[in-house]
Amino acid sequence: MPGRAFITGVTGQDGSYLAEQLLAADWEVWGLVRRSSSAEHGRVAHLPKLVHVRGDVTDLPSLITALSNVQPTHIYNLAAQSSVADSFVQPIYTAQVVGIGAANLFEAARIACPEARIYQASSSEMFGASPAPQSEHTRFQPCSPYAAAKVYAHHLAVHYRRTYGMFIACGILFNHESDRRGPDFVTRHIARGVARIHAGRETTLPLGNLEARRDWGWAPDYTRAMSGLLMLDEPIDLVVATGVSHTVADFAAAAFAVVGKDWRSHVVLDAARVRPCEVPDLLGDPTRAKTLLGWAPSVSFTQLVERMVEAEIRREGT
């Protein structure tokens, strides 16, 4: 039966797909929106039924007020400073939003709506230096301030689950992409670069580490898994991944191939894009997600790359 969902991070890539899917399934959807000078919220502008609630995960009173007023049955905590690269530049801010933000959300829910089911957005980045493939049993070895903050939030979620009996489920999601991805993540950066080179507006594409491997999937598949996780009888931790990985160079090669170009003629190495510490190899084992949710990715790597490049070509108007 549809209920009432409350989403932090609703204006982001995942929040926008999740809100869309829940509204289509007749849920009431409320989204936490923080104050900004522009207030455009482009990813959710097409969702008139989405109710915006003003607040910020770093501000506990705003969360208590929001949850007391909304009384959601399901809460999705997606808010984050989600750029791993930026977390090296802004480690304290990242900890405040990703770590303390989750603590604030769990406390606010404990006070205002302790029966609500909560989804915590954990990340494959938490596995860090642990060798591939990674599953629910793999040790966390974080390699960035972002990952360390996500590990804190993850352990806190498990603590609230065990200590207070709250229903908090953690989705350990591997990289998922779409044409709504922020422009500074590598897939969108590559897709946009290819479209601009195709349009004759640029000639080169700067990249950092080409050898890093990621398990890339299609974002709407992953937001389906989020709501599925909150439908289970018990709150658990679950890896969601395609089970296939590629290098950044593979992604660039496939993206340039969409417009009939050789990536080696355009990609230039930019040392400033190489991170102080890198996660070399992320490859998820989605066995448990398949067994418990019947979940499977609907879009292949090649289709994902094509969709992203074609969307950028449309944006460029060529």
Given the rule CB under 6 A, which of 105-113, 169-177, 197-205, 249-257 is the region that contacts ligand NAP?
169-177
* Alpha carbons 14 and 178: distance in angstroms, whole number: 9
284 touching ligand NAP, by CB under 6 A: no
Q: Do the beta carbons of residue 215 and residue 177 sit within 8 Å?
A: no
Q: How many residues bind ligand NAP (CB under 6 A)?
A: 27
* Alpha carbons 57 and 102: distance in angstroms, whole number: 7
Q: What token pair was written down for 130?
A: 């642990």
Give counts: helices (H), strands (E), the chain.
11, 13
122 is catalytic: no
Provide the mask over 68-87, with x wherever binding to ligand NAP is found by CB under 6 A and - wherever it is not.
Answer: ----------xxxxx-----
For ligand NAP, which residue of 5, 13, 84, 305 counts as binding (CB under 6 A)?
A: 13
* Alpha carbons 14 and 216: distance in angstroms, whole number: 14
Name the binder of 34 from ligand NAP, ligand G4F, none, CB < 5-8 A by kind.
ligand NAP
97 touching ligand NAP, by CB under 6 A: yes
| Residue of 82, 87, 123, 124 with catalytic role | 123
Element (H, E) at 8: strand 4-8
Q: Decide: residue 34, CB within 10 A, 0-12 exposed, 13-18 middle, 19+ buried.
A: middle
For ligand NAP, which residue of 4, 8, 117, 133 counts as binding (CB under 6 A)?
A: 8
207 touching ligand G4F, by CB under 6 A: yes
294: left (phi over 0), alpha (psi -120 to 50) or beta: left
For ligand G4F, the binding residues in 110-139 under the rule CB under 6 A are 123-125
65 touching ligand G4F, by CB under 6 A: no
Which residue's structure tokens are 């899917």?
21
285 touching ligand NAP, by CB under 6 A: no
Q: Do the beta carbons of residue 136 and residue 288 sit within 8 Å?
A: yes
* DSSP-assigned beta bridge partners for residue 206: 268
- For residue 133, whether the previous peptide bond is cis, meaning omega lies within 30 degrees of 0, is yes
For ligand G4F, the binding residues in 73-92 under the rule CB under 6 A are 82, 84-85
Helices 60-70, 101-112: axis angle to 10 degrees equals: 40
125 is catalytic: yes
Which residues, in sequence order, are CB contacts of 111 under 8 Å at separation 6+?
A: 64, 67
Name the binder of 56 from ligand G4F, ligand NAP, none, CB < 5-8 A by kind.
ligand NAP
12 touching ligand NAP, by CB under 6 A: yes
| Residue of 17, 146, 152, 160 with catalytic role | 146
For ligand NAP, which residue of 6, 19, 27, 56 counts as binding (CB under 6 A)?
A: 56
Given the rule CB under 6 A, which of 54-62, 231-239, 241-249, 264-272 is the region that contacts ligand NAP?
54-62
182 touching ligand NAP, by CB under 6 A: yes
Q: Shortest Cβ distance from residue 150 to ligand G4F (Å)?
A: 7
User: How does DSSP assign 269-313, residue by residue?
Assistant: E-GGGS-SS---B--B--HHHHHHH----SS-HHHHHHHHHHHHH
185 touching ligand G4F, by CB under 6 A: yes
123 is catalytic: yes
| Residue of 20, 124, 125, 227 with catalytic role | 125
Element (H, E) at 218: strand 217-218
User: Which residues belong to the active site?
Assistant: 123, 125, 146
**Interacting residue ranges for ligand G4F, rule: CB under 6 A:** 82, 84-85, 123-125, 174-175, 184-186, 189, 207-209, 212, 214, 248, 273, 275, 278, 282
**Interacting residue ranges for ligand NAP, rule: CB under 6 A:** 8-15, 32, 34, 36, 56-58, 78-82, 97, 101, 121, 123, 173, 175-176, 182
